[in-house]
Amino acid sequence: MSDRMGFDRFVADKGPSLWRSAWYLTGDTHKAEDLVQTALSRVYSRYDAVQTDEQFEAYVRTTMYRVHCSWWRRRWNDERPTEHLPEGSGEAYPSDIDLRRALAGLPKMQRAVLVLRFFEDRPVDEVARILGISPGTVKTHTSRGCAALRSSHHLSQEEDHHERIA
Q: Has residue 2 got a pLDDT over 70?
A: no
| Mean of pLDDT values over 102-112 | 87
In one-letter notation, the amino acid at residue 35 is L
- The DSSP call for residue 87 is P
Q: How many CA atoms lie within 13 A of 6 on its CB side?
A: 16
Mean pLDDT of 108-123: 87
CATH topology of domain 1-76: Rna Polymerase Sigma Factor; Chain: A (1.10.1740)
Is the predicted pLDDT of residue 129 greater than 60, yes or no?
Answer: yes
Helix (H), strand (E) at residue 112: helix 108-114
- CATH 1.10.10.10 is the classification of domain 95-166: yes
pLDDT at 142: 92
Rounded to whole angstroms, the Cα distance separating 38 from 61 reads: 11
Domain boundaries, the chain: 1-76, 95-166
71 residue type, one letter? W
Per-residue pLDDT tens over the stretch 34-85: 999 999 999 998 888 888 888 899 899 989 988 888 776 655 444 555 666 5
Half-sphere exposure (Cβ direction) of 129: Cα atoms closer than 13 Å: 9
Q: What is the pLDDT of residue 69?
A: 80
Shared fold status for 1-76 and 95-166: no
pLDDT over 80 at 156, yes or no: no
